[in-house]
Amino acid sequence: MPDPLKFRASLLRCARLMSDEINTILLQHQLNYSLWQVLYVIQLKQGCTSIDIAEYLNVSKPSIAKRIHALMQLEVLEQVDTEDKRQKKLILSAKGIELFQICSEKMDVFEQQLLLPLDQDAQNCTLDTLHRLMEHLQDLKTGIPS
């Protein structure tokens, strides 16, 4: 059985290296990985509340509020009313949609370059392993036995 400390260290180092590269890609657009994650969730859900974003990303509501404020300053988000007057739905503005598309294309190129050394079977196996680990972590968080 592989040493779990080496696995954990390798997984965390890989995630860090990848987020550093993503930050480099996004820097010229006044974004970073944490801001990108918010844009990604809003695009994925075709609009959502800050609470939805915090839950999806598993981060605190105050940290999401800071990110939303920064994105509002960049004019890439808009707020629209919901049935619950206490909550605002966030959507990408026209500028946000354009920025999301540009950055997505650049990150797709980066991801393709990153995966070049892996054949399709290795890519599928890696993705399956990551999904299984995420599901197991989610089960541990919610107390559901695997």
Q: What is the DSSP string of 42-109?
A: HHHTTSB-HHHHHHHHT--HHHHHHHHHHHHHTT-EEEEE-SSTT-EEEEE-HHHHHHHHHHHHHHHH
* Rounded Cα distance, 125 and 118, in Å: 10
Nearest to 103 by CA among 24, 15, 17, 14: 24
Tens-place pLDDT, residues 95-146: 999 999 999 999 999 999 999 999 999 999 999 999 999 899 888 888 876 5
Evaluate if residue 2 carries a pLDDT over 70. Answer: no
Average pLDDT over residues 78-93: 88
DSSP secondary structure code for residue 118 in this structure? S
Give the total residue count for the chain: 146
Q: How confident is the model at residue 83 (pLDDT cuts 50, 70, 90)?
A: confident
**Which residues are within 8 A (CB) of 38 and not within 5 positions of it... i.e. 6 or more apart?**
53, 57, 64, 67, 68, 71
What ranges do the domains of the chain cover? 14-115, 118-146
Contact between 50 and 79 (Cβ < 8 Å):
no
Name 78's bridge partners.
91
Tens-place pLDDT, residues 12-59: 999 999 999 999 999 999 999 999 999 999 999 999 999 999 999 999
Instruction: Specify the pLDDT at position 121.
Output: 97
Classify domain 14-115 at the CATH class level.
Answer: mainly alpha
Instruction: Specify the pLDDT at position 87.
Output: 82
Tell me the two tokens of residue 112: 């393709």
Question: Does residue 85 or residue 75 have the better pLDDT?
Answer: 75
